[in-house]
Amino acid sequence: MTSPAASGLPATEQLSVAIVGGSGYAGGEFLRLALSHPHLKVTQVTSERNAGMPVPLVHPNLRSLTNLKFRKLADLEAADVIVLALPHNSAAKQIETFEALGQVIIDLSADFRIKDPELYAQYYGEAHPAPQKLSEWVYGNPELHRGDLRGATRIACAGCFATSVILGLYPLLKLGTVLPKDIIATGLVGSSAAGASSSDASHHPEREGSLRVYKPVGHRHTAEAIQELPGRFPLHLTAISTPRVRGILTTIQTWLPDGYSERDVWGAYREIYAEEPFIRIVKMQKGIHRYPDPKLLDGTNFCDIGFELDVDTGRVVLMSAIDNLVKGTAGHAIQSLNIARGWDERAGLGFAGLHPA
């Protein structure tokens, strides 16, 4: 966690990037963003299955935009930035290989998110393969860890559902604007969150139009939320599949302390997020877009947050929407890297999103 200067890289720089595991959705999204990033030049993308094939064969949106071909991991060469988009528990087992090849390492998997090896083991079902490394990594949530990210060379990007929960709750828990009693977070998730490999559950005739709870209890991202949110209050996650491809809408059921009003909720978000370039409070009196909707966020790095108070009961429903592959994965990775290198935090993340879409 050194400054750009200390790391020996100039402030106005262009860094070479290697994406490891680039045929999946997370790696492909990082590639898309990196290709139009002013300070990044992608030089390598690995895929064991597609080695030798042109990248656009797998990511057809990149036709005419890149001449890169996939290579095998065994052929990986040095790069300024190495982005790991591997299945969970894969990066940590071979982390020293990557440390030898790159100065900055960004991991999009869950391997280095959880600082407490016991919490990791509880949620991931096995001992962490490299617990001695955990303290080197910064949790890649720019809003909570901007300071830690400056100059960071190890960035463990946050989980997508966790990001929607954490960004929705953090200001209110930080400032005591909601009670730390049982909090219920219900995440509606698109099919891309399950990755690029086909399965019976992802077969279009089975999944299209489906509203299906897939993780009612025990979601692994609970561990991240517990770690990142102030106070060890009881947080409960339920995840539901929806017909969308991208996007998460999370509703979070919370409770206002006595004497508090909606104004305090407004105030908490404003206080904590006033300067945030990618957080928008969405709460309109009228119109069809009164509250956050992931439909408007495809391809963008925004997290839209809304809320509503039930004055009779003190219940406050928070709503948090993101694109799981951008603000939930590759976008906050880019944003974190921008912070780490001292670049414009918005670099490469300018897409506004489409309306209608």
Distances in Å between the Cα of 314 and the Cα atoms of 140, 208, 254, 292, 334 are 33, 37, 8, 21, 38
Active site (annotated) includes residue 160: yes
How far apart CA 226 and CA 104 sit, in angstroms, is 27
Which residue from 13, 199, 231, 271 is in contact with a copy of itself, where contact means CB under 8 A?
A: 199
Q: Per-residue string for binding with a copy of itself, 37-76, x by CB under 8 A?
A: --------------------x-xxxxxxx-----------
| Residues 225, 159 contacting (CB under 8 angstroms) | no
- 94 Cβ contact list (under 8 Å, min separation 6): none
127 binds a copy of itself, rule: CB under 8 A: no
Which residue carries 């002013």 as its tokens? 38
Residues 139-198 interacting with a copy of itself (rule: CB under 8 A): 182, 184, 186, 188, 190-192, 196-198
CB of 164 to a copy of itself, least distance (A): 12
Site for a copy of itself in 231-250 (CB under 8 A): 234, 236, 238, 240, 242-247, 249
Report the residue from 16, 267, 295, 342 that binds a copy of itself according to the rule CB under 8 A. Answer: 295
Our CB check for a copy of itself shows the closer of 319 and 334 to be 319
DSSP string, 246-283: S-EEEEEEEEPPTT--HHHHHHHHHHHHTT-TTEEE--
CB of 67 to a copy of itself, least distance (A): 14
- The answer to whether 351 contacts a copy of itself (rule: CB under 8 A) is yes
Question: Could you tell me which of 160, 170, 210 has the C-alpha nearest to residue 326?
Answer: 160
Residue 99 or 308 with smaller CB distance to a copy of itself: 308
Stretch that binds a copy of itself, among 100-108, 109-117, 165-173, 313-321 (CB under 8 A): 313-321
Task: Annotate 9-23 with DSSP letters as a single string.
Answer: --SS--EEEEEESTT
Which is catalytic among the residues 40, 152, 158, 160? 160
Residues in binding contact with a copy of itself, number by CB under 8 A: 88
Q: What is the CA radius of gyration of the chain?
A: 20
Active-site residue list = 160
